[in-house]
Amino acid sequence: MSGNSDVFAPRGSPAEVEEARLLSPKFDADGLIACVATDARTGEVLMVAHMNAEALRKTIETGEAWYFSRSRKKLWRKGETSGHSQRVVEMRVDCDQDAILVKVEQTGAACHTGRRSCFYRAVPLGRIDARPIALEFCDAEKLFDPRAVYGDPQKR
């Protein structure tokens, strides 16, 4: 399989990055770009993760979501352990090409805690009465048991 260097265009001026038809992603100092995954059917934001150049290329080529795990420091196909893979229906890049959006068909649930989306807690808005701020659980139903899928967290 060929490398990534000729797949992505070099970064040009801001005007070129914003208005040109060339994919020239901006990877950060760690070689990563943020990626938002949404449910292709409902638009719900499922998760935010990171891709390195190889994960981005593999996602484009295969139509399956690949990410780079910052904690485990490894390339990772979404669902490779859990079976909860993401088929990418559409991919977008943002104006300055430092963020990716994938609209996906999510098998099972996106969140490793068992929830459909990683965003299962709300931050109340307005005057800050409680210190620290208290969260509210919402849409937090677990669709699977993370221990059954990933094993005991102490032994992972």
State in angstroms the smallest separation of the CB of 63 from a second copy. 5
Question: Which contacts of 45-53 are long-range, i.e. CB under 8 A and separated by 24 or more positions?
Answer: 45/117, 45/119, 46/104, 46/106, 46/110, 46/111, 46/116, 46/117, 46/118, 47/110, 47/111, 47/117, 47/118, 48/118, 49/78, 51/100, 52/27, 53/4, 53/8, 53/25, 53/27
Sequence-distant (≥ 6) Cβ neighbours of residue 51 within 8 angstroms: 32, 33, 35, 59, 66, 67, 68, 100
State in angstroms the smallest separation of the CB of 119 from a second copy. 4
Q: Which is nearer to a second copy, 20 or 83 (CB)?
A: 20
Pseudo-torsion of CA 48, 54, 57, 58, nearest 10°?
-80
- Could you say which residues in the range 88-117 bind a second copy, by CB under 8 A? 88, 90-96, 98-101, 111-113, 115
String marking each residue 12-51 x if it binds a second copy according to CB under 8 A: --xx--xxxxxxx---------x-x-x---xxxx-xx---
The span from the first CA to the last CA of the chain, in angstroms, equals 31
State in angstroms the smallest separation of the CB of 148 from a second copy. 16
State in angstroms the smallest separation of the CB of 78 from a second copy. 14
Q: Which is nearer to a second copy, 107 or 146 (CB)?
A: 146
State in angstroms the smallest separation of the CB of 23 from a second copy. 4
- Using CB under 8 A, list all residues that contact a second copy: 6-9, 14-15, 18-24, 34, 36, 38, 42-45, 47-48, 57, 60-61, 63, 88, 90-96, 98-101, 111-113, 115, 118-128, 131-137, 153
